Structures are given as structure tokens and as C-alpha cells.
Amino acid sequence: MLRPTTFLVFWALTFVTLGAAFLALKIFYRLAGSELDLHTGRREFIYVVATSLGQAIAAWFCAPFMGLLGLMSIALVMAAIVYWVLHFPDWGGFEAMGLAIFEWILWLFISTMMSGDFGRAFFILVLFIVGLAVIIGFGRSL
């Protein structure tokens, strides 16, 4: 097992990426002319804290046995399932998958920034924003 400081780093990273993905998904829905069905702000914050804690625990226990891709996969699937269950009557499943994709892109961006590959990180971010703009434009034209 890893040191407790590693757990805190995992929790900080999962909290930041999940919170940012959640806000990005909300902004995306607003720009698309739709509304994301949410609970109160306090309740959603508690969901983000609890889900990121679960992601960090899973990553902490599995890190000695898996690579980064495996850890990301476990955490993203876990977040998608938790949010789909928490918002079951309101969300059809696409929102939870969108949250997982947004978090994956943010993890990819942060990991490339931390590795010092700023050009690739910028490319990932620009490609993601352009892809979202195309999706929004296509959705509004329907």
C-alpha cells in the first residue's frame, strides 16, 4: 500500500477534476440551451466530495497493481455509476457518461501539464473545446 500523503494527492486530484468536470458539464448544458437537472448546490458539493473520496480510495488501493490508465478507468466508471444512481430519476445516462468524459479529458490535460508537455496539453484542451463547440452547434441546428 502507498503512503497516506499519496492518498491525499489522489483525493485532491480527483476532487479538482470531478468538480471541474461537473462545472464544465453544467456550462455545456447551459450553452447547448438545455438544463442539467441537479439537486441543491450543497447537496451536489457533498456528492462531489464523497465521490472523489471513493475515487481516491479506489486509486490508492489499486495503484500498486495498475498503471495510470487503469486507475483512471476505475475512477471514471465509479463516478459515472455513482452520479447515475444519485440522479436516476432525472438523468437518462448520457449526463453521467458526459461527466466521466469531461473528467477524463481534465485528467488527461492535468497529467500532460504535470509531465511538462505543455504543447500537447494545449492541443488537448483546444481539441476538446472545438469538439464541444461543434456538438453545441449541431445540437442547436436540429
Maximum average pLDDT range among 16-25, 60-69, 77-86: 16-25
pTM of the prediction?
0.80
Three-state DSSP state, 32: coil
Residue position matching grid coordinates 449526463: 95
Q: What is the mean pLDDT of residues 66-93?
A: 76
Whether the predicted pLDDT of 82 surpasses 70: yes
Q: What is the mean pLDDT of residues 109-118?
A: 89
Q: How far apart are the C-alpha atoms of 125 and 128, rounded to whole Å?
A: 5
Q: Which residues contact 1 (CB under 8 A, 6 or more apart)?
A: 60, 61, 64
Q: What is the mean pLDDT of residues 13-26?
A: 88
Confidence of residue 95 (pLDDT cuts 50, 70, 90): confident
pLDDT per residue as tens digits for the range 27-75: 888 888 877 777 778 888 888 898 888 888 888 887 777 776 677 777 7
The CB density around residue 18, as the number of other CB atoms within 10 Å, is 27
Q: How far apart are the C-alpha atoms of 140 and 142, rounded to whole Å?
A: 5
